[in-house]
Structure 1
Amino acid sequence: MGRVQSATKNIVFGQIGNLVTQLLGFVLRSVFIAHLGDTLVGVNSLYTSILSVLSMAELGIGTALNYSLYKPVANKDYEKIKSYMLLYKKSYRIIGLVVAGIGLAISPFLPYLVKQPDGVTVRDLTLYYFIFLFNTVSTYFVAYKYSLVNAEQKNYIQTNIITITKMITVSLQIIVILATGNFYAYLLTAAAVELLQKIYVSHYLNRLYPYLKDKRVEKLTKEETGEVVTKTKALVLHKVGDVARLQTDSMIISSFINVTVNGFVDNYNMIMNSAANVVNIVFNSVLSSFGNLIATESKDRQYELFKVYRFAASWIYGFAAVGFAILLTPFITLWVGAERTLAFSVIGCILIDFYFKGERIVLSNFKTAAGVFEQDKYLALIQGVVNLVISIVLVVRIGLVGVYIGTIVSGLIANVTKPIIIYHVILDRKAGEYFRDSVKYCLLLVLQYGIFYGISGIIMKEITILTFLVMFVIICLVFNGIFLMVFRKAGEFQYLVTIVKGKFRKRKE
C-alpha cells in the first residue's frame, strides 16, 4: 500500500472514529454538567492535566523508538524489529512503575492544587485521583505495541480499537450518571472498560505480530542503542518543556483562581479540541508517511510536500479559529448557559494560541518524521520556563487572561525557531519564504474576522439556534470562498486538487 493510500485509510477511519466519540463525548459532558456539576468538571480536567504531567516520565523514548522502527519496517527486517520492540517493552515497564511512584508521592499535595472544591472532601479528591492514576499507569504495559502498527502506517488499527472502547465507555458512563449520579461509579466504569481493552489489545497484537512472542531476540548494537539514547536525551528536554507549557494552565487556574472556573474553561477546550481532533487526525495520519518519504525521496520532493502540508494546516486551522471567534461563546450560551461563558479577551487569547498551535503541529510532525530532535533540544525547556513565569505573574495581576498570554508568548518562540531548523537542517533552504507566507495567512485571517464580526453584529443580535446556524453557514461559504479565490493558482492548492481528482477517477473506475 502506497503512502497516499495508507494516509487516506488512516484519515477515513480516524475521522469516523472521531465523529462518533466526539458526539458521544458532547452528550456525556451535557449529562455530566446537569447531574454532577461544574466543580467535578473542573476536578476531572485538573486530574487529566496532572496525569499528563506525570506522563513526562516517558521522556520521548516512544518518539525516538518509533523513528528507529521506520527503516526496519520498510525493509521487513523482523529480527531488528524484535530487538527494538524488546527495548521499548522494557523501557515502558520501567516508566509505568516510575509514574506510579511519582503519582503516589504527590497525592498528599492535592488539596493545594484544588482551590474552592465546593462539596468535595479531601478524601474524595484523593480517591478520584488514584483511579485516574491507575488508568494512566496501566496504559504503559500495552501502549508500546502500537508503535509497530503506526510504523507500518496502519494507524487505523489503533483508531478503531480506541473508537470502539470509547463508544462502550461513554455509553455506560451516561447510563451510570443517570442511574446513580455518582462520580466514583463514573470513574470506575471507565477504568473497568479500559482495563479490558488493554488486555484485549495485548492479545490481539500478539496474534497480529506473532514474532513479538519469540524468546530469541538479538541485542541491538552499541551504535543502534546509542542512537536511541542520543535522541531520547534530546527529547527529554522537549518533553519537559512541552509539559511545562501545555499541561500547566489547568493547574494554575485551579490553584490561583478556582476549580469551577477551570471547569468553564474545559467546556471551551472540549469544543475546540473536538475541531482540532478532526484536523489532527489528518496531519498525524501522514506522520508515518512522511517518515517513509524522508527516508526515500529527494529534498525537493520533501520541500514540495511540506509546503502542501503547511498550506492545508493554515487554511483549516484559520477557518476553525475565525469560526470559533464568532460562534464559540454563542454556542456555549445555547448549550450550558450564559453564566458559564468567558470574557472575550480570554477567548481571543485561547484562539490565537489555537491557530499558532496548528502551525506548530505541522512543524513538529515534519521534524519528528525526519528524526531531527537535537538542534532545538533546549527550546521546549525555555518555552516551559517562559510560560510558567509569565502565566503565574500575570494570573495574580490580571486574572485568567494572564494565563493565556503566557501560553501565547511561549508558543510563538517555537513558531519562529522551528521553521529555521527545518529549512536549514532538513530542506537545505532559507526560511524567509515560510515567514512571508505566515504574514500573508495571518493578514487574511484578520481581514476575514473583521468581515464576520460586522455581519454577526447584524444577524446575531439575539442568540438563537436559527441565527447561530445562519451565521455558521455564512462563515463556511464566505471564508472558504475567499481563501479559494486568493490561493486558487498557488502550487500547494493545485497539488491538493490533483489528489482529490485522482481519488474521484479511481472511484469511477
Structure 2
Amino acid sequence: MGRVKSAARNIAFGYAGNITTQLLGFVLRTIFIEHLGDTLNGVNDLYTGILSVLSMAELGVGTALNFSLYGPVARKDYEKIKSYMLLYKKAYRVIGLVIGAIGLAISPFLPYLVKQPEGVGVRDLTLYYFIFLFNTVSSYFVAYKYSLVNAEQNNYIQTNIITITKMVTVSLQIVIIIFTGNFYLYLLTAAFVELMQKIFVSRYLNRRYPYLSDKDVKSLSKEETGEIVNKTKALVFHKVGDVARLQTDSMIISAFINVTLVGYVGNYNMILTSVANFVNIIFNSVLSGFGNLIATESREKQYRIFKVYRFFACWIYGFSAVGFFLLLTPFIVIWQGKEKVLAGSVVACILIDYYFKGDRIVLSNFKTAAGVFEQDKYLALIQGVVNLFISIVLVQKIGLVGIYIGTIVSGLIANFTKPFIIYKVCFDKKAGAYFMESVKYLIVLAVILSILTALKGVIMQTVTPGSFTAMFVMCCVVFNALFLLVFGRTEEFGYIWEILRKKCKKQ
C-alpha cells in the first residue's frame, strides 16, 4: 500500500477514534466535576502531568529505534526487524523499572507539590498517585510492540485499540462516579481495563508477527547498536528539555498558586487538546510515511512534500487558533460558568504558543523521520531551562500569565533554530524562504482575526448557545474563504487538491 493510501487510512481511523474518545472524555469530565469537585479534578490533572514528567525516563530510546526500523521494514528484512525488536524489548523493560523506582522516590514529596488540596489528606493523595504510577509503569512492558505496527504505516491498529479501551474505561467510570462518587473506584477501574488491554495487545501482536517469538535472533552489530546509542544520547537532551518545557506547567501552578486552578486550566487544555489531537492525527499519520519517503526518494521530492506538509499545518493550526481565540472562553462560560474563566491575557498566551507549537510539530516530525537528532541535541535542554526560569520567576510576580510567557519564549527558540538545521541537513538549502513564508502566514492570520473579531462584536454581544453556534459557523466560512483566496493558487494547495480530486474519483 502506498504512502498516501496508508496515511489516508490512518487518518480516517484516527478521526473516528478521536471523535469518540474526545466526546466521551468531555462527558466524563463534566460528570466528574459535578460529582467529585474541582479539587479532585485538579489532582487528577496534576498527577497526569507528573507522570508525563516521569516518562522522560524513556529518553528517546523509542524514537531512535523507530527510526532504525523504517529501513528494515521497507526492505522486509525480518531478521533485522527481530534484532531491533529484541533490543527494544529489553530497553523498555529497564525503562519501566526505572520509572517505577523514580516514581516511588518522589512520593514522599507530594505534599509539597499539591498546594491547598481542600478535603484531601496526605494518605489519599499518596494512594491516588500510586495507582497513576502503576498505569504508567505497566504500559512500558507492551508499548514497544507498537513500533513495528507504526513503522509499517499501520498506525490505525494502535488507534483502534486505544479507542475501544477508552470507550470501555470512560463508560465504566461514568457509572462509578454517578452511583458511588468514589475516586478510588474511578482510578482502579481505569487501571483494571488498561491492564486487560495490555494483555490483549501483547497476545494480538504476537499472533500478527509470529516471527517475533522466534528464539533464534541475531544480535545487532556494534555499528548498528552504536548508531542507536548515539541517537539516543542526543535524544536524551531533547526529551529532558521537552519535559521541562511542556510538562511542568501544572506542577508550577499547583506548587505556587493552588491545585484547584490546575483543574480550571485543565478545562481549557482539554478543549485545546481535543482539537489538537484531531489535527495531530493528520501529522502523526504521515510520519511513518515520511520515514519511508526519506529512505526511498530524492531530496528535492522530500522538500516539496515538506512544504505541502508545512502549508497544511499553518492552515489547520491557524484556523483552530483563530477559532479558539474567539470561542474558547465563551464555550467555558456555557459549559462551566463565568467563575471558572481564565484571564484574557492567559488565554491569549496559551493560544500564541498553540499556533507556534503547530509549526514546531512540522519541523520535529520531519526531523525525527530523517533521524536528525544530534545537530540540536542541546536546544531542547536550553528551552527547558529558559522555561523553568522565566515561569518560576514570573509566576511569583504576575501570576498565571507568567508561566505561559515562559512557555512562549522557550518555544520560539525552536521555531527560530530548527529550520536552519533541517534546511541545511535535509534539503541542502538556506532557510530564508521558510521565515518569509512564516511572516506571510502570520500577516494573513492577523488580518482574518481582525475581521472576525469585528464580526464577533455584532454576532455575539451576549454568550448564548445560539450566538456561539452562529459565530462558529462564521469562523468556519470566513476564515477558510479568505485563506483560500490568498493561497488557493499556490503549488502546495494544488498538491492537496489533486490528492482529494483523485480520491473522489475512486469513490
* Pairing 1:186-201 to 2, within 5 Å after superposition: 186-201=186-201
Deviation (angstroms), 1:462 = 1.0
| 2:477 counterpart of 1:477 | yes
Deviation (angstroms), 1:8 = 0.5
The answer for the alignment partner of 1:396 in structure 2 is: 396
Deviation (angstroms), 1:445 = 1.1
The answer for the alignment partner of 1:91 in structure 2 is: 91
The answer for the alignment partner of 1:246 in structure 2 is: 246
The answer to which of 441-450 and 179-188 deviates more is 441-450
| 2:463 counterpart of 1:451 | no
Query: Which amino acid in structure 2 is aligned with residue 75 of structure 1?
Result: R
**TM-score, structure 2 normalization:** 1.00
Q: Distance in 2 between matches of 1:114 and 1:443?
A: 42
Q: Deviations over 1:320-379 (max 9, x none)?
A: 000000000000000011110000000000000000000000100000000000000000
Q: Distance in 2 between matches of 1:41 and 1:401?
A: 21
RMSD (Å) for aligned C-alpha atoms: 0.5
* Pairing 1:353-432 to 2, within 5 Å after superposition: 353-432=353-432
Query: Which amino acid in structure 2 is aligned with residue 116 of structure 1?
Result: Q
Query: Which amino acid in structure 2 is aligned with residue 179 of structure 1?
Result: F
Q: Deviations over 1:17-46 (max 9, x none)?
A: 000000000000100010011111111111
Q: Distance in 2 between matches of 1:104 and 1:478?
A: 52
The answer for the alignment partner of 1:17 in structure 2 is: 17
The answer for the alignment partner of 2:3 in structure 1 is: 3
Deviation (angstroms), 1:128 = 0.3
Query: Which amino acid in structure 2 is aligned with residue 169 of structure 1?
Result: T
Q: Distance in 1 between matches of 2:498 and 2:459?
A: 38
Q: Which runs of 4+ in 1 moved over 2 A?
A: none
Q: Distance in 2 between matches of 1:503 and 1:242?
A: 38
* Pairing 1:26-425 to 2, within 5 Å after superposition: 26-425=26-425
- Which secondary structure state, in structure 2, belongs to the residue aligned with residue 235 of structure 1? helix
Q: Deviations over 1:421-447 (max 9, x none)?
A: 110000111110100010111111111
Q: Deviations over 1:203-250 (max 9, x none)?
A: 000000001111111000000000000000000000000000000011
Deviation (angstroms), 1:130 = 0.1
Q: Distance in 2 between matches of 1:329 and 1:160?
A: 32
Q: Deviations over 1:101-129 (max 9, x none)?
A: 00000000000000100111000100000
Q: Distance in 2 between matches of 1:76 and 1:190?
A: 37
- Which secondary structure state, in structure 2, belongs to the residue aligned with residue 37 of structure 1? helix
The answer for the alignment partner of 1:433 in structure 2 is: 433
Q: Deviations over 1:291-337 (max 9, x none)?
A: 00011111110010000000000000000000000000000000011
Identity across aligned pairs (percent)?
Answer: 74
Query: Which amino acid in structure 2 is aligned with residue 207 of structure 1?
Result: R
Q: How many residues align?
A: 507
Q: Distance in 1 between matches of 2:54 and 2:457?
A: 45
Q: Distance in 1 between matches of 2:321 and 2:182?
A: 36
Q: Distance in 1 between matches of 2:480 and 2:39?
A: 39
Deviation (angstroms), 1:48 = 0.6
Q: Distance in 2 between matches of 1:288 and 1:211?
A: 22
- Which secondary structure state, in structure 1, belongs to the residue aligned with residue 375 of structure 2? coil
Deviation (angstroms), 1:451 = 1.3
Deviation (angstroms), 1:287 = 0.3
Q: Distance in 1 between matches of 2:125 and 2:106?
A: 13
Q: Deviations over 1:394-415 (max 9, x none)?
A: 0000000000000000000000
Deviation (angstroms), 1:450 = 1.3
Deviation (angstroms), 1:135 = 0.0
